[in-house]
Amino acid sequence: MTKAMLIINPSSGKEKAPRYKPHAAEILNRFHEKVVVRETLREGDAVRFAKEACLNRYDTVVSMGGDGTINESINGLAEQEYRPKFGLIPMGTVNDFARALNIPLNPEEAINVLMSQTVQSVDIGKINNRYFMNVLAVGAIAEATYNVTPEQKTMLGPFAYFIEGLKAFIKKTPFQLTIEHDTGKWTGHAYLMLTALTNSIGGFETFAPQARVNDGKFHVFILKDFSFPHILKIIPSLLKGELKEHDQVEYIRSSHVEVSSSEELAVNIDGDEGDRLPFHASVLPSHLNIFVPGAE
Ligand SMILES: Nc1ncnc2c1ncn2[C@@H]1O[C@H](COP(=O)(O)OP(=O)(O)OP(=O)(O)O)[C@@H](O)[C@H]1O
């Protein structure tokens, strides 16, 4: 019997997620004999549900929610030996993972993607004993994401993170950082370090246009000694997709990173506060098969 699980965070998308439940369940019913809908109540539920789907050998898991819920679902799937095909219906503010996979940000259109039955193999990142799909960040912008209020997100969307990040940049001083990677070691001072798996960070799809979802590599950006006037110069580079060429940016491609600092710093994992440094992260190449739009 073919089985699908639909995981929904009813609080996501400003509580609009439940209205899309019938359509998503109906589409899944067309391709599976049994469809189970699980609604999350609190943090950790999506991890548990996704893990349960693996252990019970479901064919498909579809997750409807913001990047938080998608990240949790991936954490439930990634550790297991048997992993169902995964689908996502983005309901959050930024939705970087959906952007990177060309999944429409309109929920109805994203549900229709499931009909194409086209899957793409996608890399997943592992940091210590957690998994992530988009980005690890250390530094001011990383910390600024915690200050964004739900009201700011409603009013400004992804731009809310950008504004808080800029404010944080102006106030901060650089920190010491050491990164060991596939071909050597970088040591210096930085304002921000981003380790991206996909092209989209904070809603900017021009961040790492060279990144492919299954290239087996992290795309590491180190923003070095970056005082106020330079911030304004970096914005055009970012928008043109040329960030890695900027003279204040160090760019490294690597399948793993070992990151440490002489200072007390924590790493931000897909937008949530994570472990303190040092950390080790590696790419799990083509670890999940994810539903993406089919060829037109
Ligand atoms: N029923 C629920 N009510 C409130 N919070 C929930 C519920 N279920 C899960 N959560 C928590 O909500 C967190 C945030 O959800 P998620 O990121 O999916 O949506 P969002 O807040 O709309 O997205 P974004 O942060 O992109 O705006 C989850 O990580 C989870 O801990």
Whether the bond between 278 and the residue before it is cis, its omega within 30 degrees of 0, is yes
9 close to ligand 1 (CB < 6 Angstrom): yes
Q: What is the DSSP letter of 262?
A: S
Range of the domain at 198: 135-285
ipTM confidence score: 0.94
30/253 Cα distance (integer angstroms):
42
Q: Is the pLDDT of residue 11 over 90?
A: yes
In contact, 100 and 125? CB cutoff 8 Å: no
Residues 6+ apart with CB under 8 A from 232: none
Q: How confident is the model at residue 226 (pLDDT cuts 50, 70, 90)?
A: low
Q: How confident is the model at residue 156 (pLDDT cuts 50, 70, 90)?
A: low
Same domain? For 244 and 194 the reply is yes
Same domain? For 113 and 151 the reply is no
Same domain? For 258 and 224 the reply is yes
In a domain, 20, yes or no: yes
Please give the residue that has the higher pLDDT: either 65 or 157: 65
What's the per-residue H, E or C state across 141-154?
Answer: HHHHHHHCCHHHHH
Same domain? For 221 and 106 the reply is no
CA angle (91, 124, 140) in 5-degree steps: 70
Q: Pick from 117, 148, 163: which residue ends a domain?
A: 117
Per-residue model confidence as pLDDT tens digits over 41-65 = 999 999 999 999 999 999 999 999 9
41 close to ligand 1 (CB < 6 Angstrom): yes
Q: Pick from 55, 90, 117: which residue ends a domain?
A: 117
In a domain, 292, yes or no: no
Same domain? For 107 and 230 the reply is no
192 close to ligand 1 (CB < 6 Angstrom): no
Map tokens 């970096």 to a residue.
234
CATH of the domain at 249: 2.60.200.40
**Residue 212 neighbours by CB distance under 10 Å:** 16
Hey, which of 40, 72, 75, 99 would you mutate to test ligand 1's pocket, going by the most ligand atoms within 8 Å of its Cβ? 40
Map tokens 């940016």 to a residue.
249
19/30 Cα distance (integer angstroms):
19
The token pair that represents 255 in the structure block:
């399948």
Q: Whose CA is nearest to atom 1 of ligand 1?
A: 41
Q: Is the pLDDT of residue 117 over 60?
A: yes
Per-residue confidence (pLDDT) for residue 170, from 0 to 100: 62
Same domain? For 81 and 159 the reply is no
In a domain, 38, yes or no: yes
Q: Is the pLDDT of residue 234 over 80?
A: no
Per-residue model confidence as pLDDT tens digits over 257-267 = 999 999 999 99
What's the per-residue H, E or C state across 63-103?
Answer: EEECHHHHHHHHHHHHCCCCCCEEEEEECCCCCHHHHHCCC
270/62 Cα distance (integer angstroms):
19
The token pair that represents 243 in the structure block:
């960030």
71 close to ligand 1 (CB < 6 Angstrom): no
CATH of the domain at 107: 3.40.50.10330
Q: What's the total number of domains in the chain?
A: 2
Distance 65 CA to ligand 1 centre (A): 7
Per-residue confidence (pLDDT) for residue 55, from 0 to 100: 98
In a domain, 130, yes or no: no
Q: What are phi and psi of 140, to 5 degrees?
A: -55, -50
For the chain, what's the residue count?
Answer: 296
65 close to ligand 1 (CB < 6 Angstrom): yes
Same domain? For 203 and 231 the reply is yes
In a domain, 128, yes or no: no
Q: Whose CA is nearest to atom 26 of ligand 1?
A: 92
Q: Is the pLDDT of residue 252 over 90?
A: yes
Same domain? For 205 and 233 the reply is yes
